[in-house]
Amino acid sequence: MDEKTWTNGINEASKMALLAWEKETGIELVQINGQRRYGGPPPGWVGGPPPAGTEVYIARLPQDIYENTLIPLFESVGKLYEFRLMMTFSGLNRGFAYARYASRHDAQSAIAAFHRFQLRQGCAIVVCWSTQKRELVVSGLDASMSQWELEVTLHIVTEGIRSVTLHTSPSQKEAKLAVLKYRSHEAAALAKKALMEGNLRLGEAKMRVDWLDPQLKQKLQLCEEPSSSWVQGGESPAVPLTLSLQNVLECLDMLCWKHHLRTPLFMTKCVQVNRNGWQRFWYQVAIPGCRVPISGFTWISPGRQGQSQHERAKVVVALHVLRVLGYQLK
């Protein structure tokens, strides 16, 4: 952690105590996208990750308590594989965490020992089995939203997505909703946070992201046969399994040449970075043969290794241009 930046401001004494504990124990905490992680696996771990059903959910934590208190406490009843504390931008915790144990027996011991445990006077915490939700529902999508466009966009801004199903919304006229399945609860939680906080727009309306309710899931299954594609672990002839800048630009080039236009020229410039790491880009696309360039703004999620932010912005812009040209050239 960046000591100078992180210890400034709120709850400074507890933050300094945590930094001292890290130095004393040699434990390394890694913060990514609003959560701070220990382990996964921890130092000295042998073998693969623990099986399903070994994670507990911890709630009602005082916001000024950190891993130097929580990890030793939860390690006292069993071997920890991973501990994840959800964090606010200011450096306080968000009141909940997840502890994954080496075995189901250890996780059960943690629930027995610490559910309603008085972490401090008048502060009883909640410890229970993690629900391991992996499915999100994204509502408020344009009726014109295509399966391919949705998948490419989700691939750019989230990780660990396994499948996407696109439905006609049962409650909104001329709108669609999508069900997204991720490889793990952690991946789904990170995707939910990224989609909610990243100012991402898919179409004209601001979308909404929630955990998939079982009743809605059943209703969607009964109402219609959705359009569906497996991004990983399956095949879809209509959607490339390897989604990249090259895929999108090739489609755009094909559409332009089909209508006697030349290869588009892109300009992008980062004009803003929000506190979650999302970057706002201005863009302009000039297509020889079209009199007016296409321009606007778009938000891009925090970058991944191996791909520049300008390249990622270019993908999102190319998708938008595909939609605009699709309307104009019909």
Classified as helix, coil or strand, 121 is coil
Write the CATH number for 206: 3.30.70.330
Task: Tell me the CA distances in angstroms from 74 to 61, 124, 178, one per residue in order.
Answer: 13, 15, 38
Q: Are residues 156 and 248 in the same domain?
A: no
Q: Are residues 200 and 270 in the same domain?
A: no
Q: Are residues 204 and 120 in the same domain?
A: no
**Nearest-5° Cα angle at 216, 215 to 217:** 90
Q: Are residues 235 and 145 in the same domain?
A: yes
Tokens of 223: 């109402």
- The reported pTM is 0.54
Rounded CA gap, 175 and 143, in Å? 4
Q: Which of these three, 129, 150, 170, is where a domain ends?
A: 129
Write the CATH number for 271: 3.30.160
Q: How do the pLDDT tens digits run along the chain, 330 residues long?
A: 544 445 556 788 888 999 999 999 999 998 876 789 999 999 989 999 998 889 999 999 999 999 999 999 999 999 999 999 998 877 889 899 999 999 999 999 999 999 999 999 899 999 999 887 889 999 888 877 777 777 777 776 777 888 888 888 777 777 788 899 888 888 888 888 878 766 565 655 567 889 888 778 777 776 654 454 544 433 333 333 344 556 677 778 877 887 788 888 999 999 988 776 778 889 999 988 887 888 888 877 776 555 678 887 888 788 778 767 765 554
Q: Are residues 179 and 96 in the same domain?
A: no
Rounded CA gap, 213 and 208, in Å? 14
Q: Are residues 226 and 122 in the same domain?
A: no
Per the DSSP assignment, residues forming a β-bridge with 129 are 56
Rounded CA gap, 191 and 209, in Å? 10
CB atoms within 10 A of CB 1: 16
Classified as helix, coil or strand, 265 is strand
Q: Are residues 125 and 140 in the same domain?
A: no
Q: Which of these three, 186, 219, 239, is where a domain ends?
A: 239
Tokens of 39: 């382990």
Q: Are residues 143 and 86 in the same domain?
A: no
Non-local (6+) Cβ contacts of 258 within 8 A are none
- Number of domains the chain is built from: 3
Q: Are residues 110 and 174 in the same domain?
A: no
Q: Are residues 197 and 264 in the same domain?
A: no
Q: Which of these three, 129, 144, 169, is where a domain ends?
A: 129
81, 42 contact by CB (below 8 A): yes
Domain that holds residue 323: 244-330
Q: Are residues 7 and 97 in the same domain?
A: yes
